[in-house]
Amino acid sequence: MSDERPLVTCLLPGHGDRRLVAQAIYYFLRQDHPTSELIVLVTPGSADGVEPRGGNVRVVVVDPAELDDAGTVWARGRAEARGELLAWWSPTDWIGPDRISAQVRDLGDAGAVAARSVLTYRLRHGDAVQGEGTVPASAMVRRDASLEHLVVVEDPGWYLCMETRRSPAGRSARPLHNAVERIGDDGPFYAALRAGSGPGTARPQARRRRAGLTLAVPLMVFDGLGSMGEYLALALAEAGIAVNLVPWRLHREGLRPDLLALLERSRPDPADPVLVLSWIGHALEGWGRAPVTFVNAMWESTVVPAAFVERLNTATAVICPSGWVADTFRDSGVRVPIAVVPQGVDPQRYPFSGPRRGRGLTTLIVAAWAARKNLRESVDAWQLAFDGDPDARLMIKTRFGGGNRAQLPDDERITVVDDNEASPGIAHRYRQADVLLALGGEGFGLPLLEGMACGLPVVALDAQGQADTCTLAGDAVLRVPAADWVPYDDGQYRSGLRAVPDVPSVAAALRWVADHRDEAAAMGQRASEWVRRERDVWSMGPAMVRVLAEHLGGTDGLSLAEAIVHPESDGRARAYALALRRAVPRAAIRSGLGDASGFRLVDVQYDADGFDDAALDRFVRGARLRGTAVLVTAHRLPPQPTAWECAVDLLAGADDEVVAALRHRWPARRVERLTGEPATAHTELWDSIATA
């Protein structure tokens, strides 16, 4: 052909079943041929509700007599058509997205092209047969040609005949899966037709889910577990979970504004799964009545008290921050599934700074005043390493010291900071030091990671919960062994053993740092890079979601929150999406058309140049088939209606021009104009869709 992209006019008789007409229009809108138009011929009584209108879709009202047979329809369509090629557009058959382009290619210089021996899906019989002869409804012809000069294509993959009424058998049977595979994601539409409950449009029906995940956590920035409560809540929300907080301990000062906003809007539902973050203790009480309970917990000795083992065994699964804790739980008798999800450090709150590099060496200890923290051994090792060094300094950042300071040696070089610093992290303390001692008997060891993130060389006890980090970080940590294992006794619980560091080894490591400042600084650099790569706290959210989903039988057991989807390229839609995400921290944000499975709703910020429309159509329909509602907020529209517009739950416009265009195209559809504060406008739309 002289023109490889000729204008093709498609003729659709639109006076039949509204569901089939709407689906046929959708099949036209998703065609990959760039130059085409659709003429929908309707009678005066069937014109209402046929949409979209405008662009390359025209609705032509004709006398009912003109729709009596194919010949008169063809004649009227030819009179209305602008294209040099005309294609019959059957309202009853399935049509693939490449039909027009394939037929233009197959037509060549012939006068007409049509399909023959087409696979037929007999809806009422629930089977498939191989058709016989040429299918006139699949024809494409030149305006002034006839079917006498016909090219036939045997059973093309872009066409499937549909028999919606019962018909006699007799043609050769074919496996039903042949038809099902051909129609792909359009299958649910025909399944609904067969069941007698087909939707009124081409939009698949989304499933609705629970309200969210109840998260019981401590919230205190000055406490290790309390700070993890804040990060766990925000990381889960960032991963898309609709989190409802139940703080079992709360200190508001220093908490992030987005965490406080999440707390204010939390509405726990007794029917939702529960995740409890707790040290072994009273916070585990009462959650056994929840339908599904996950416990994120740790312990710091070799044996878990029997009473706590019993409580853990009532959970659906237990989540630990280290492999050592997981092994300890199993050895102590925990029988429910156990998963390991490491905690981490916020790279923004603990940026790389490196050693202080001042006169003398300043050593830092970050540890609560408790026997298992091995403060006495840490101080002994420091004094052994720097005996007689007037420039050496030791800073102890602690809590619960009280009257225990008298237990420290009378050494003016030692400074104790004993208070609850309600600041966003304590990176300022690490910046005051040259080396960190992390020698506690830990279930995980958060100060170890904080010091590494800030670029300090760290002398770490290679035992208990810190052993994972020491092993994985390799030469980025100065590892010291345990010299002994002593009975665990914190005044309340006496169970198992805890590790005690080898004091001479610690002193030797400190002397190495003092004598090799450049090598120690390089070690701190490697440590910081490792933490940012392997222990970013925000990776905790997706890892936790995978564990929860595994034990809930998939993400359908979790009610996930909203996601804002924006184009990968810069532009108005992307900028709007980023601003909206800052205003609505409950929503996740995604760049490009990735996997949207599990989200309750996605809000696509659309720009005509930002997304491929065919890819967006597949994204929208795939999301809705998996149970996710879809709102598209349009910032700029293409001149022609698109296929994805058929499938979304709701259309919204960012300005009056876009809204007017959408309402002209879709007069019977709900189209919203976003007004007022974007955060309020969008969340109201999200909630209205979720409760529809």
Distances (CA, A) of 444 to 228, 368, 372, 639, 644: 12, 14, 13, 58, 48
Three-state DSSP state, 600: strand
The per-residue pLDDT for 428 is 92
Residue 457, token pair as written in the block:
């060389």
Which residue carries 């416990």 as its tokens? 295
The per-residue pLDDT for 303 is 97
The Cα–Cα gap between 13 and 564 comes to: 39
Q: Which domains does the chain have, with CATH numbers?
A: 8-195 (3.90.550.10), 213-340 (3.40.50.11930), 362-532 (3.40.50.2000), 560-690 (3.40.50.2000)
The Cα–Cα gap between 446 and 657 comes to: 54
Which residue carries 């204010």 as its tokens? 264
* DSSP type of residue 206: P
Distances (CA, A) of 137 to 82, 118, 174, 250, 638: 20, 11, 22, 69, 30
Angle at 261 between CA 256 and CA 264, to 5 degrees: 130
How long a stretch of residues is the chain? 692
The Cα–Cα gap between 184 and 429 comes to: 59
**Number of continuous H segments (helices) and E segments (strands) in the chain:** 21, 32
Over residues 450-505, the pLDDT tens digits come to 999 999 999 999 999 999 999 999 999 999 999 999 999 988 889 999 999 999 99
Terminal Cα distance for the chain, rounded = 51
Three-state DSSP state, 362: strand
The Cα–Cα gap between 180 and 94 comes to: 11
The per-residue pLDDT for 122 is 84
Contact 310/503 with Cβ under 8 angstroms? no
Rg (CA), the chain: 34
The per-residue pLDDT for 389 is 95
Helix axes 187-195, 176-183, angle to 10 degrees: 120
Q: What are the strands of the beta sheet with 127-130, ordered from one edge?
A: 94-95, 159-163, 119-122, 127-130, 173-174
The Cα–Cα gap between 188 and 170 comes to: 27
CA 50 from centroid of its chain's CA atoms = 36
CA 451 from centroid of its chain's CA atoms = 31
pLDDT < 70 stretches in the chain: 1-4, 146-148, 164-171, 196-211, 281-291, 400-404, 555-560, 597-598, 690-692
pTM, rounded to two decimals: 0.64
The Cα–Cα gap between 420 and 397 comes to: 10
Over residues 226-242, the pLDDT tens digits come to 899 999 999 988 777 88
User: Torsions phi, psi of 20, nearest 5?
Assistant: -70, -35
CA 563 from centroid of its chain's CA atoms = 7
Residues in contact with 307: Cβ distance below 8 Å, sequence separation at least 6, in sequence order: none
User: Torsions phi, psi of 425, nearest 5?
Assistant: 90, 175
The per-residue pLDDT for 691 is 60
The Cα–Cα gap between 40 and 12 comes to: 5
